[in-house]
Amino acid sequence: MTAFYAWIGGLAQRGLLPSDFQYPFLVRGFLCVLIIAPVLGGVSHLVVTRRMAFFSAALGQAAITGVALGLLLGEPLNAPYAGMFGFCLLSTLAMVYVKRHATLPPDTLIGVFHALTLGLGLCLLVALTRQFNVHQVESVLFGSLLTVTDADLLLLLAVGIFVAVMLVREYNALLLDSLSPPLARVSGAEPAYLEYFFALLLTLSIVVSLKIIGALLVEALVVVPAAAARNVARGTRSYLIWSVAIAFVAGAGGLGVSTRFLVPTGGAVVLAVSAMFFLTLMARSTSRRRGTV
């Protein structure tokens, strides 16, 4: 990877790429955005279609707790993966299981998990800040380019490819199940399997993106790109394309703002994607007034 960064840096020095690309950490950050955009933008349109926005928020909170658990168990601050993945996957399985077997409305149940994991995470974080610098812990909450390593990048790429391959396999069944679980069942799909399957893929996508975006804000990148895309898409294909494109533009734009103004990456990315939502909303309103929608 050192040779690769040196080559990119050379292109930047010659003016063929923006001058910021002389710095390996920025190149890593941009590569992360290139991977995160199709992964999160891609799952985003299914998250919104399957009404899992609140579920995603609860997963983000669970990731905080997972990081805290990992650190308390002795994992390194810049790679508490066992804690993150382990706790988040367990939380996902528990949430889906309870949702499928309880009689309370799904948002109420997820609210319970949301509160539980947040309370547990906050208590553990207080314990952690006695052992670590609080700014190091902030990077977990809000994301930080500076903490992303080559190993993180490769992990993101591997998980991104895995999630994409799995989604391609079950996409049509997932979409039909979102529209009508009875029709999905009649066509041979198993709604319970699909629910667990997608929730676990979502968990992997969110956890692997945490370093860049942060646990508190990653949910926004799983929901807002699709919400914005809905304002302008005209079919499933354009829905996916717009979701990914909006996630990419917000990611790259947020990255630029973050490095220019020294604000947390996650915050900058979320502001950028929110701005795009309102832009697409205005575009839709304008089209409606002209009678073209």
Partner 1 sequence: MTEGADTTTLLETNALAVRRHGEALLDRVTLHVRRGSVHVIVGPNGAGKTTLLSAILNQIPFDGEIAMNWVGSGAVGYVPQSFAVDPTLPVTVADFLALTRQRRPVCLGLTRRARAEVARLLALVGLAGLEERPLAVLSGGELRRVLLAHALDPEPELLLLDEPTAGFDESAARIFESILVSAKRSANTTVLMVSHDLELVRRVADRVTVLNRRIVVEGAPDILSAADVRELIPVRETVLSPAEAGHYARNSGG
Residues engaged in binding partner 1 (CB under 8 A): 45, 49, 167-168, 171-173, 175-176, 179-180, 182-183, 185-187, 229-230, 233-240
Shortest distance, position 232 Cβ to partner 1, whole Å: 9
**Which residues have C-beta within 8 Å of that of residue 162, sequence separation ≥ 6?**
204
Name the residue nearer to partner 1 (CB basis): 19 or 180: 180
Measured between alpha carbons, how far is 289 from 92 in angstroms, rounded to an integer?
43
Measured between alpha carbons, how far is 148 from 150 in angstroms, rounded to an integer?
7
**Which residues have C-beta within 8 Å of that of residue 230, sequence separation ≥ 6?**
48, 239
Shortest distance, position 269 Cβ to partner 1, whole Å: 23
Tell me how long the chain is: 293
Between helix 265-290 and helix 134-142 the angle, nearest 10°, is: 20
CB 64 within 8 A of CB 117: yes
Name the residue nearer to partner 1 (CB basis): 228 or 269: 228
CB 24 within 8 A of CB 5: yes
Shortest distance, position 61 Cβ to partner 1, whole Å: 26
CB 143 within 8 A of CB 213: yes
Shortest distance, position 197 Cβ to partner 1, whole Å: 15
Name the residue nearer to partner 1 (CB basis): 13 or 180: 180
Closest CA to 254 of 180, 155, 143: 143
Name the residue nearer to partner 1 (CB basis): 59 or 226: 226
Shortest distance, position 49 Cβ to partner 1, whole Å: 6
Name the residue nearer to partner 1 (CB basis): 30 or 239: 239
Shortest distance, position 171 Cβ to partner 1, whole Å: 4
Name the residue nearer to partner 1 (CB basis): 37 or 153: 37
Q: What distances in angstroms separate CA 109 from CA 63, 104, 136, 187, 244, one per listed residue?
A: 18, 7, 32, 29, 30
